[in-house]
Chains A and B, each alone.
Chain A
Amino acid sequence: MKAIDVRNLRKEFSGGIKAVDGINLQVYEGEIFGLLGPNGAGKTTTIRMLATMTRPTSGQAMVCGTDVTKDPDKVRRCIGIVFQDPALDDQLTGRENLDFHARMYGMKREERGERIKEVLELVELSERANDLAEKYSGGMKRRLEIARGLMHRPRVLFLDEPTLGLDAQTRRVIWEHIRKLNEKYRITIILTTHYMEEADFLCGRVAIVDHGKILALDKPSKLKESMGGDVITLKVKNSGKMADLAKSMEGAKRVKVHDSSVSVSMANAGTRIPELLKAAEKAGIDVESVDLHKPTLEDVFIHYTGKTIREQETSAGDRFRQRARAMGRR
């Protein structure tokens, strides 16, 4: 069953900025699906449309079998959402934040108390439930927000950059919680992230998004396989000559030169290193070091966007896009 079915979804902000430019995607029940892309790629805008917070300019989005523009309240009852920026009331306790949510979603008294206990245990916050949220650490706040998103037993949970701004250790804890939710309760999870490891670790399928478009969509393993084998990186004196040589090798793909290193992808790369080194020696190229690694999502990302995700983030166009998005949020 499809939890989410998006057809040709577009969102244009005033000034003609296309935040989302014709996205198609299907997410099946029980999946963890990732939208991977730099800031300003259109991930958050996509989530906002799916969560009925902003109207699409055109296209169709079905969530839990309901059109987001036709019956937003029905969609809202079916989804939980954890926003990118904190959205707790710091002046309320953890328990009160959950109680507020439960009542807003019309949960009955008995059900409320029980469910609050349940979700608090789930995110291991039972002992701090009666502390004001302002006393919580960043990771605890995130966990409380996840618990809140689950209060009304949604079938689909949206997590917008769930670990943004958290340290590595806390990030791990959040990841474990997300996994547990999915495995234990079969909740469909759609998350956005610009952390490669996060997408790789959590997501069954990943869509690489940039400039409002989906550039690739598959299982992380498939995306990595599609890079054509493992990557050999050689550090050499004469990188130009080495690149030519690498290109001449049978089955060599995506030869790239970066300063004094040359990288090349090929199937069964490990067994071909001796051959490569022999050829280099014959051509009189001085190889300083050799490195072999499996392609990562970072390699996939570079392949599709031509840039690393960090380079993307600092480009001026994206900053403009981000500002436009910030304005569109108001």
Chain B
Amino acid sequence: MKISAIYIIWLREMKKYVRNRSRLIGNMAMPFFFLAFLGMGFNSLGITGLPEGISYIDFLAPGIVAMGLLFSSMFAGVSILWDRQFGFLKEIMVAPVDRTSIVIGRIFAGMTSGVIQAIFILCISLLMGVRIVNPLGLVASLAFIMLIAMSFVGLGISIASKIEDMHGFQLIMNFLIMPTFLLSGALFPLDRLPAWLAAISYLDPLTYGVDGLRSLIIGTSHFPVIVDLAVLGGFCLAMILMARHLFNKTEV
């Protein structure tokens, strides 16, 4: 592994992130709309079945943080496809740099932009009156934020290593990202789901991300936080290893 290579790959992604205004705004705006409009909408309905003393908007905020991370991280990983399309991947691949460094640079970059996005959403949440348990929990939630980001950048890289062009991207959007989001418990509690649906959502790795964030931010959770951390951590490691393995095998 080469630190200088990891750094420059990270730096390039960061420069592009800052320069690409539409992506930057999109990353911030979509979660904001969800939080503001969906949150306000259901909040006023007075949804039952939420944990004691928790309003819907409190319940939703950690879910939206996770949602934002899911979308932006997958996108960051899959963006290797753009490099392939525009030829820049060749420049990266003929350099005397091992593939692992390239993968790590990209994962760090996706994680950095994920953290920035998550902090933005958390700030908006606070402004909207979401009640947090304590500031320390908020800080601790950064660990989950990073794990979620790294996991899905890794998954994105793995997918980008297997599909050949942009056509596959729409398919991933519809059949991978959306179900992962909807089944993660980001929008509704898992306690009252029919057993078969609950079983599926237990297989969704993002479920543990959402649950962990909820536990640390608003102090309520479905699983013990340690279980969330263990499952998500394992998934994250698996995704990073898969990304490395699959990216290693690609040719440009």
Contact = CB atoms under 8 A, between A and B. Distances in A.
B87 A86 contact: yes
B15 A92 contact: yes
B95 A329 contact: no
B102 to A, nearest CB: 9
Contacts of A87: 86-88, 90-91
Contacts of B16: 89, 91-92
A73 interface: yes
B86 A104 contact: no
Nearest to B84: A330
A101 B95 contact: yes
A310 B30 CA distance: 52
A115 interface: no
A51 B252 CA distance: 12
A86 B89 CA distance: 11
Nearest to A88: B88
A73 B251 contact: no
B20 A91 contact: yes
B9 to A, nearest CB: 8
A72 B34 CA distance: 49
Given A77-B96, A83-B87, A330 B19 contact: no
* Interface magnitude class on chain A: 20 to 34
A104 B4 CA distance: 7
A51 B94 contact: yes
A92 B12 contact: yes
A100 B12 contact: yes
Given A87-B88, A96-B15, A329 B251 contact: yes
A145 B86 CA distance: 14
Interface string A76-91: 1100010101111111
Given A87-B88, A89-B12, A92-B15, A106 B251 contact: no
A28 interface: no
Nearest to A54: B251
B251 A103 contact: no
A92 B86 CA distance: 13
B88 A104 contact: no
Contacts of B164: 330
B166 interface: no
A92 B4 CA distance: 18
A283 interface: no
Nearest to B88: A89
A330 B160 CA distance: 12
A83 B84 CA distance: 13
B7 interface: yes
Contacts of A106: 2, 4-5, 96
Interface string A93-119: 000100111011110000000000000
B94 A52 contact: yes
Contacts of B133: none
Nearest to A75: B96
A115 to B, nearest CB: 15
A91 B18 CA distance: 11
B92 interface: yes
A100 B8 contact: yes
Interface string B76-111: 000000000011101111111100000000000000
B88 A103 contact: no
B121 to A, nearest CB: 25
Nearest to A97: B91
B169 to A, nearest CB: 15
Most B CB within 10 A of own CB, among A54, A91, A96: A91
Nearest to B250: A330
B95 A76 contact: yes
Interface of B: 2, 4-5, 7-8, 12, 15-16, 19-20, 86-88, 90-97, 164, 251-252
Q: Which 10 A-B pairs have the closest CB atoms?
A: A87-B87, A103-B8, A104-B95, A73-B96, A76-B96, A87-B91, A87-B90, A85-B87, A89-B88, A91-B16
9 contacts: A53-B94, A72-B96, A83-B90, A89-B16, A92-B12, A92-B15, A103-B7, A106-B2, A330-B164
